[in-house]
Amino acid sequence: MSLVFEHSTLGQRVLFGSGEAASNLIAEVARIGARRVMVIAAEFEAQIAADVTHGIEVALNYDDVAPHVPIEKAEKARAAAAEHGIDLLVSIGGGSTTGLAKAVAMTSGIPIVAIPTTYAGSEATNVWGLTEAARKTTGVDDKVLPVTVIYDAALTTSLPIDLSVASGLNALAHCVDSMWAPRADPINQALAAEGIRALNAGLPMIKDDPDNLAGREQALYGAYLSAVAFASAGSGMHHKICHVLGGAYNLPHAQTHATVLPYVLAFNAPAAPEAAQRIAAAFGADDASVGLNLLRKTLDAPTALKNFGLAEEDIAEAVGLILPYIPTSNPRPVDRDNLTTLLQAAYSGASLEL
Please compute the mean of the pLDDT values over residues 284-295 and round it to a whole number: 97
**pLDDT tens, 24-67?**
999 999 999 999 999 999 999 999 999 999 999 999 999 999 98
- 119 and 194 in a single domain? The answer is no
Residue 290's Cα: distance from chain center in Å? 23
Query: Do 137 and 238 lie in a common domain?
Result: no
Q: Which of 111, 133, 156 is the last residue of a domain?
A: 156
Residue 253 and residue 174 share a domain: yes
In a domain, 5, yes or no: no
- Does 335 lie in the same domain as 192? yes
230 and 117 co-located in one domain: no
Is residue 304 one of the residues assigned to a domain? yes
Residue 353 has pLDDT above 90, yes or no: no
The answer as to whether 51 is a domain residue is yes
| Domain identity same for 121 and 224 | no
Residue 16 has pLDDT above 70, yes or no: yes
Whichever domain contains 315, its CATH number is 1.20.1090.10
Element (H, E) at 120: none
pLDDT digits 0-9 by tens, 153-204? 999 998 889 999 999 999 999 999 999 999 999 999 999 999 999 999 999 9
Residue 126 pLDDT exceeds 80:
yes
How far is Cα 101 from Cα 279, in angstroms, rounded to an integer?
33
pLDDT at 79: 98
CA 345/CA 323 separation, integer angstroms: 17
* Whether 132 and 185 share a structural domain: no
Q: Region 208-218: what's the mean pLDDT? A: 95
Domain that holds residue 313: 161-348
pLDDT at 349: 95
13 — phi, psi (to 5°)? -90, 135
Give the C-alpha separation, 104 to 88, whole Å.
11
Q: Could you give the C-alpha distances from 123 to 153, 197, 220, 318, 321, in angstroms and in order?
A: 15, 20, 11, 28, 27
Same domain, 171 and 319: yes
| DSSP helix/strand/coil, 38 | strand
Rounded alpha-carbon distances, angstroms, from residue 124 to 95, 218, 254: 11, 16, 17
pTM equals 0.91
Domain count along the chain: 2
Side chain identity at residue 245, one-letter code: L
Both 194 and 307 in one domain: the answer is: yes
Domain boundary among 156, 191, 219: 156
Res 354: pLDDT: 55
Instruction: Taking each helix axis as running N to C, give the angle between helix 213-233 and helix 161-178, from 0 to 180 degrees, rounded to the nearest 10.
Output: 30
